Amino acid sequence: MTTLNSIAHLIKDRLAGGNSSVDNQLDERDIIIRIRQVINQVLRISFFENMGIGDRNASNLYIVSYEVSIMEDTAEKYKYIKLPDVLANLPYNKGIHSMHPKGSPDETLIRANNHYVTRNLRSSQMEGKPAYFLEGDRLVMRKKNWKSSWTKMIVKLKLAAPDKFGLDDPLPVYADQISQVVEIVTTYFAPPVIQDVLNDGNKDRVVNIRDGKG
C-alpha cells in the first residue's frame, strides 16, 4: 500500500544513503509538501501523454467528492458554489469531474466552457438540462430549469494527493508513477555534490557539479 508516509520514508532512506535513522536535518513535513506537488506534476504529464493517443480523460483514481452549499449572487443574479479545493490544472477544465444536486445523481449538470460566448446559441440549451461554467473560484449555474429544492451540490474534483488524504491513507498513485515521484523529490532535496579538486594548480579549489561555481 502506497501512502505519503511510505513515499517520504523511501525518499529519506535514499537521501541518507540507505539509513533513514541518520539525522540529515530535513523536516519530513517539507518532503510531504513536495511529494504532493510532484504528484500533481506527474498527473498533468500523464494527461498530456494520454492526449497524444486521443484520450482526454485523467485518471479516475484522483476523483474526490465534496458536498457544497449553493449560494446566490444577487447582484449578478445567478446561483453558484465555491470551489471546495484547488483542482488539478488540466486543459478543458478536466479538473472538474462532475456536479449534481445532493440526492439526485441522475441530474448531473452539463459543463459549459464559456457561457458568455454560447449563452444565446441554440446549442447552449443543452437539451433542457441545467449547466454550469467555471469563473474564478466559482462554479456558476444557470437559472434555466433550476429546481428550488436544490440547496446543496455534490461536486467531484480531480485532485492529485489532495489534503484530505492522510499521511497513512492509501494514495491514488499508479505503481509506475511512484518511482518518478521518488526520483524527482530526492533530486530536489539532495545536497550539492562536490567534485574533486580542479586540475588548475589550486589544490584548495573545488567546484559544485550542479552550478559549476568554484
Tell me how far apart the terminal alpha carbons of the chain are, to the nearest angstrom. Answer: 44
Tell me what percent of the residues of the chain surpass a pLDDT of 90.
16
* Angle between the N-to-C axes of helices 175-189 and 4-15, in degrees from 0 to 180, rounded to the nearest 10: 50
Q: Which residues contact 5 (CB under 8 A, 6 or more apart)?
A: 167, 168
Query: Could you report the per-residue pLDDT of 123-137, keeping only the tens digit for each?
Result: 455 555 677 888 888
Query: Could you report the per-residue pLDDT of 140-193, keeping only the tens digit for each?
Result: 887 666 788 899 999 998 775 566 678 888 877 778 888 999 999 999 998 776
The three cell numbers of residue 56 are 482526454
